[in-house]
Amino acid sequence: MNNTLSNPNTAVTHLSATIQLPASKSESNRLLILQALSNGNMKIVNFSTANDTLLLQKALNSKSLIVNIDDAGTAMRFLTSFFAMRNEHKIVKGTDRMHKRPVHDLVEALHQIGFRINYLGQPGFPPIEIIPVNLDSLNNKVTIDGSISSQFISSLMMIGASLPHGLEITITGEVASKPYILLTAALMRKAGIESAINFPIITIAKQEYKTTVLSAGDDWTNAGYWYSFVALYPSAAIVLEGLEEETAQGDKILLEWGNYFGVKSEFKQGALYLSKLENTLTESLHFDFTPHPDLAQTIIVLCAAKGIQATFSGLQSLRIKETDRIAALQAELKKFDVELVETLNGNFTLEGKFVARPVTIETYNDHRMAMCFAPLAVLAPITFTDPSVVSKSYPDFWNQMAKLLTWDE
């Protein structure tokens, strides 16, 4: 595959395609952990083929002392608690970037429970070593800061029912990405594990998994890129097959946010139909990404391209993702004469007038950096330094996008 994505032929006046979104990586990763904890009671009939999910599956099946999860941050967080709960002697490592992503709060919480986890490099960061302990001596109460990563909390929740006395989690500070915690609880419930959530306290009693067959729903986060296409092209209609309207995935907020960008959302015959709206609100918008961090890049780039004045908050977790996503967005948006500027109290805004021009987008080994800028190809040719990064969450992205655009020879 060539690295340059071209806008449609000038004769094309209407973009139209039917897209099958991949299974949710967020749901798939949680289901794999729950399946492993269920000791065979739970079966999964459909899950993501994203590289992150495949790495997690491989790690769960590994008999080796050393487990390399590459750049899969979710796998690092979920496996830390899982291997501790399984009382396995394991060393979990990853890429250089992974070794710069903090795990201190999760490890400290596991220490409170009574697990032994050692740092093998810089304190607070992977790689880590998990040492077996006497499970009968474990505590059932833990306190953890909720502002760093909701995955730390989800990681603890999923082992709660397997602990000798269950687990009570007290969350301090602002709860980041709360919808993902609720998603974890919803999937646990489907597996037969009940949790009592009364923020800031989550209680999970010791319980047994029921025999069941579960399937991951399609990915609402990845729907955002297709919303961008409809928003940016004068005439467009895209059908997204397989999305569930009744879902615990928090990024279904796109049903609401799409209106701000001129995108109409309608569920018909088991699919989501995206089309153009005649009237939209494009002034004085504010987006709080605290519950929806994975939509931040998509929405910010879309606001820039459409010249929408907006403020953005809840971006703090973007600093510790696959890359520093704030710095990456700032660098790439400058190529279009737009500045992402931090104002007061952690808020950001956009300055400058967007200029569509042929540019090369640096992908920073970050799948979402590639995909959030890809829809700009309807405005001018875009070249990507490493298109393959999308395999982390959406392996078929470019093939599906070829229904709308073409890769230059």
**Among 3.65.10.10, 3.30.830.10, 3.40.50.300, 1.20.58.220, what is the CATH number of 4-22+218-407?**
3.65.10.10
Residue 2 has pLDDT above 80, yes or no: no
Residue 70 designated active-site = no
* 236-261 average pLDDT score: 94
How confident is the model at residue 1, as a pLDDT?
Answer: 45
Percent of the chain having pLDDT more than 90? 85
Q: Give residue 389's pLDDT.
A: 94
Give the separation between CA 312 and CA 290, rounded to whole angstroms. 10
Average pLDDT score over residue span 181-210: 97
* 278 — pLDDT class (breaks 50, 70, 90): confident
Report pLDDT for 317.
87
**CA 407 – CA 381 distance, rounded (Å):** 9
What are the pLDDT digits (tens) for 328-362?
999 999 999 999 999 987 899 999 999 999 999 99
CA-nearest of 162, 27, 97 to 323 is: 97
What pLDDT shows up at residue 8? Answer: 58
In sequence order, the 6+-apart residues with CB closer than 8 A to the CB of 221 are 24, 26, 249, 251, 294, 295, 393
Marked catalytic residue, from 105, 294, 396, 408: 294
Which tokens is 27 given?
Answer: 């749901």
229-253 b/e (C-beta count within 10 Å ≥ 16 → b): bbbbbeebbbbbebbeeebbbbbbb
- Residue 315, pLDDT > 60, answer yes
What residues does each domain of the chain span? 4-22+218-407, 25-215
Query: pLDDT digits over 56-80, tens only?
Result: 999 999 999 999 999 999 999 999 9
Fold match, 4-22+218-407 / 25-215: yes
| Average pLDDT of span 319-330 | 92
Average pLDDT over the chain, rounded to whole?
93
Q: Distance (Å, rounded) from C-alpha 69 to C-alpha 178?
A: 25
Question: What is the total residue count of the chain?
Answer: 409
Q: Residue 336 has which token pair?
A: 């279009």
Residues in CB range of 388: below 8 A, 6 or more apart: none
Q: What percent of the chain has pLDDT over 70?
A: 95
CA dihedral 374, 376, 377, 381 (to 10 degrees): -110
CATH superfamily of 25-215: Enolpyruvate transferase domain (3.65.10.10)
pLDDT score recorded for residue 409: 38
Residue 403: per-residue pLDDT:
86
